[in-house]
């Protein structure tokens, strides 16, 4: 972090993506950052990327953490979840097992490791561009999200449909939670310079203070 432009944000949010191997977590991040990467290699361990986003009049720095869905490469510990403000729970709409695993496995992981009870979650059904192969309906996923109090979006990393919306909705919701916002404030943000005022001198001249 060097330039003042990079430090010029109001809040810094830690965002995690979780879900089974191959659901498209890394592709969603790539798609959000810039473009879609076909045949993305499986993630080994964990990785993160930084993206700046403006929501309303707030400038946000998102640190987006990606992890391996495959248990063999997973090194998830409390530290991965610690301090997370938002979690994107990804499943593949063409693979129903990736949807059920979110409730069977991933929610338990979150409950076990997450240190932030107020952390916002969004359920993201990816690969909606493969509509003909769809196995998980929008209705059942939306019902689960409602029951659990999660946000919900269907998206495609490939076409970029709803990819921005996924991150944007999550960030907007985080901004509404005072506890989350409080510990995300950018304390090193450069303060605006005081405006210069001219004071008239008795002899009619002015000094700038
Ligand atoms: N058609 C389609 N394919 C996608 C989409 N997103 C990802 N893919 C494909 O799914 C494959 C797996 O995507 P990844 O992003 O690597 O999946 P991941 O969840 O990061 O997998 P792990 O790192 O192993 O946990 C990619 O090689 C893409 O070809 C999408 O929106 N539509
Ligand atoms: Mg990956």
pLDDT classification of 193: cutoffs 50, 70, 90 = low
Ligand 1 centroid – CA 72 distance (Å): 18
Domain boundaries defined on the chain: 4-182
Look at residues 133, 141, 121, 122 and name the one whose alpha carbon lies nearest to residue 158.
133
pLDDT classification of 207: cutoffs 50, 70, 90 = very low
pLDDT of residue 24: 98
pLDDT classification of 6: cutoffs 50, 70, 90 = low
Nearest CA to ligand 1 atom 27: 39
Ligand 1 centroid – CA 4 distance (Å): 35
Query: Which of 99, 124, 157, 161 to mutate to test ligand 1, by most ligand atoms within 8 A of the CB atom?
Result: 157
Q: Given a cut of 60, is residue 172 above it in pLDDT?
A: yes
Ligand 2 centroid – CA 24 distance (Å): 7
| 82-132 pLDDT, tens digit each | 899 999 999 999 999 999 999 988 988 888 888 788 899 999 999 999 999
Per DSSP, the residues of 59-101 read EEEEEEEEE-SSGGG----HHHHTT-SEEEEEEETT-HHHHHH
Helix residue spans in the chain (DSSP H): 4-7, 25-33, 78-81, 96-101, 107-113, 138-148, 163-175, 178-182
Q: How far apart are the C-alpha atoms of 38 and 20, rounded to whole Å?
A: 18
Q: What is the mean pLDDT of residues 178-194?
A: 82
Q: Given a cut of 80, is residue 190 above it in pLDDT?
A: no
Query: Which of 25, 27, 46, 75 to mutate to test ligand 1, by most ligand atoms within 8 A of the CB atom?
Result: 27
Q: Which CATH number fits domain 4-182: 2.40.430.10, 3.60.20.10, 3.40.50.300, 3.40.50.2000?
A: 3.40.50.300
Pocket lining: 26 vs ligand 1, CB cutoff 6 Å: yes
Instruction: Report yes or no: 7 and 1 within 8 Å, Cβ to Cβ.
Output: yes
pLDDT classification of 9: cutoffs 50, 70, 90 = very high
| 28-84 pLDDT, tens digit each | 999 999 988 888 899 988 889 999 999 999 999 999 999 989 887 766 667 788 899
Pocket lining: 101 vs ligand 1, CB cutoff 6 Å: no
Ligand 2 centroid – CA 43 distance (Å): 4
């Amino acid at each position: 972090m060097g330039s003042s432009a990079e430090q010029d944000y109001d809040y810094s949010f830690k965002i995690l993506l979780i879900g089974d191997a191959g659901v498209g977590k890394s592709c969603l991040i790539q798609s959000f950052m810039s473009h879609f990467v076909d045949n993305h290699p499986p993630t080994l361990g964990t990785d993160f990327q930084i993206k700046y986003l403006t929501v309303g009049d707030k400038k946000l720095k998102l640190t987006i953490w990606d992890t391996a869905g495959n248990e063999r490469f997973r090194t998830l510990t409390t530290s991965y979840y610690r301090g997370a403000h938002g979690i994107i729970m990804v499943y593949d709409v063409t693979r129903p097992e990736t949807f059920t695993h979110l409730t069977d496995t991933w929610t338990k992981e979150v409950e076990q490791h997450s240190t932030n009870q107020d952390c916002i979650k969004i359920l993201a059904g990816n690969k909606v561009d493969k509509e003909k192969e769809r196995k998980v309906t929008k209705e059942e996923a939306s019902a689960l999200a409602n029951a659990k109090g999660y946000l919900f979006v269907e998206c495609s990393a490939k076409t970029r449909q709803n990819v921005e919306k996924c991150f944007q909705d999550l960030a907007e919701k985080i901004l509404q939670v005072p506890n989350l916002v409080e510990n995300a404030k950018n304390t090193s943000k450069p303060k605006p310079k005081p405006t210069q005022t001219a004071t008239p001198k008795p002899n009619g001249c002015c000094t700038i203070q």
